[in-house]
Structure 1
Amino acid sequence: MTDEQLALQAVSDAQRILEEYLEPMPRNNERVILDKLVEVLERPELLVAVTRMQGGR
């Protein structure tokens, strides 16, 4: 997968998680949602890809 594809996949996954959270239902799962978002956004391959896209900063 290219760096751009990895980034787009992560954004798509994060959007899906937020959509689930925004569905009208009782909210007692904020920590679960946060954990899912962190899991998506801290994928090692994503972090490497973002660093490369930023020019190695």
Structure 2
Amino acid sequence: MTDQQLALQAVSEAQCILNEYLQPRPHDNERILDRLVEVLERPDLIVAVSRLQQRSSL
């Protein structure tokens, strides 16, 4: 999977989690935050985003 694909997949997953949060029903806010952290702090995603940032600054 390319860096771009990893980043897009993570953004898509994060959007789904946020969409769940925006639904008008009771939420476990701590669990929602945990899920967002799980998605956005994946080691492979962190490395991919770092490489994308390096490439964009060249």
Identify whether the pair has TM-score above 0.5, normalized to the shorter chain. yes
- The whole-number CA distance in structure 1 between the counterparts of 2:53 and 2:26 is 39
- The whole-number CA distance in structure 2 between the counterparts of 1:22 and 1:47 is 26
1:35-50 to structure 2, matched below 5 A, reads: 35-50=34-49
Detail structure 1 runs of 4+ shifted over 6 Å in the superposition.
Answer: none
Alpha-carbon distance, 1:26 to partner: 1.9
AA partner of residue 39 (structure 2): V
TM-score, normalising length from structure 1? Answer: 0.91
1:14-53 to structure 2, matched below 5 A, reads: 14-27=14-27, 29-53=28-52
Higher helix residue share: 2
Alpha-carbon distance, 1:11 to partner: 0.2
Helix, strand or coil at the partner of 1:55: helix
Unaligned regions of 5+ residues in structure 2, if any? none
- The whole-number CA distance in structure 1 between the counterparts of 2:44 and 2:51 is 11
TM-score, normalising length from structure 2? Answer: 0.89
- The whole-number CA distance in structure 2 between the counterparts of 1:11 and 1:34 is 15
